[in-house]
Amino acid sequence: MNRIPIRFGLLAVLLVTLFSGCQTAYYDMMETFGIEKRDLLKKAVTRARDEQKEAGEEFKDALTRLQQAYGGTGTDLEKTYSKLKSSLERCESEAADVKKRIKDMDRVASDLFAEWEGEIGRFSNPTFASDSRQKLFDTRSKYQQLSASLRSAEAKMEPVLRSFQENVLYLKHNLNAAAIGSLHGEASRIETQIQALISEMNSSISEADAFIKTLN
């Protein structure tokens, strides 16, 4: 018996399920493989945390390049601009990935808590129902704190990116020694923004680590 058509058929079903936007079908399919919503939530939180780490590294790299540019003598400006532009593009990409990961994480969490809440009504034992409801309340509270922390760090990316974008654009329009000299005043402001962003990212990453431990 030829298994190739069957495999392609299964793959097609999987792709349709994943990209149709039908979360219920997706969850049902995952459960057939023994993967529950809590497992998906743990993976989503882990991915969001990892994206925060990667974004933090890119912003650190961008800060280093900015400091090098501000401390330069005005030579090799084309090379400086190219490096800064590449750093900016990576930061923008990482920021977009962070937003997507947090959005995915919140969707899975919302679905998990909705299912949990609905299942509590199936208990005939009032002690079980009360205990489960308290666990739901505690877990949801911890998650809301985590989500707020991640979104706070995410929100701080935008003004940093805007400042970075303006400086890179200014360099593009002024590829000369005077441009570097006039940017010195911007250095401390952008550096402060990036340092604050990295600090907040580290804080939200720690909260993600703590939340993941509660799901083990």
Per-residue pLDDT of the chain (216 residues; tens, 9 = 90+): 444 444 444 444 444 444 445 677 777 777 777 778 778 888 888 888 888 888 888 888 877 777 676 655 545 667 777 777 888 888 888 888 888 888 888 998 999 899 999 999 999 999 999 999 999 999 899 899 888 888 888 888 888 888 888 878 877 776 655 555 555 556 567 777 777 778 878 788 887 887 777 776
Which tokens is 175 given?
Answer: 């590829």
Locate the domains of the chain by residue range.
1-35, 38-214
Report which residue type is found at 6.
I
Task: Provide φ and ψ at 76, rounded to 5°.
Answer: 55, 45
pTM for the full predicted model:
0.63
Query: What's the CA gap between 16 and 21, in Å, rounded?
Result: 9
What would you report as the CA-atom Rg of the chain, rounded to the nearest whole angstrom? 23
DSSP labels, 64-109:
HHHHHHHTS-S-SHHHHHHHHHHHHHHHHHHHHHHHHHHHHHHHHH
